[in-house]
Amino acid sequence: MGATVAAKNRKVRQESLREFLSNKCTVQQLVENVEKIEHLDNILTQDELQRLKVATEFRVKLLSKYLPDLKSVEMTGEDGKDLIPASITIKYE
C-alpha cells in the first residue's frame, strides 16, 4: 500500500510540474528561439545568437529533467487496477 501512495504522490507532483512548465510556455519559448535563429531576414549579433543558444539549451535540460522521454507505456486495468491478461499467445514468424 505504501508504494501505491508514493506512486500517487509522484503522479500529483509530475502533473503539478507539467502545469507549471506549461504556464511558463517553456516549449513555446523553445520554438520561438529556434524560429528566431532560423529566420534569415533577422540578422543576429554573435552575442544574441549565443544567448538564444544558451537559453534554449537550459530550457531543454529543464524539460528533460521534469518531463523525461517516455520509454515505456504503462497499461492499467479498470479503475487503475493491475492489468492481468487472461491468456498470452506467442507467434513465431
Q: CA–CA separation, 83 vs 76, rounded Å?
A: 5
pTM of the model: 0.47
Give the H or E element holding residue 47.
helix 46-66
Supply 87's cell numbers: 491468456
* Comparison of pLDDT for 35 and 88, the residue scoring more: 35
Give residue 25's pLDDT: 63
Kindly report the average pLDDT of the chain as a whole number. Answer: 80
Q: Rounded CA gap, 50 and 20, in Å?
A: 26
pLDDT tens, 41-78? Answer: 878 899 998 998 898 888 888 777 766 666 666 777 77
The pLDDT score that the predictor gives to residue 47 is: 93
- The confidence score (pLDDT) of residue 64 equals 75
Per-residue confidence (pLDDT) for residue 86, from 0 to 100:
79
pLDDT of residue 85: 76
Question: Residue 72: its pLDDT value, please?
Answer: 67
Give the side-chain half-sphere CA count within 13 A for 53: 7
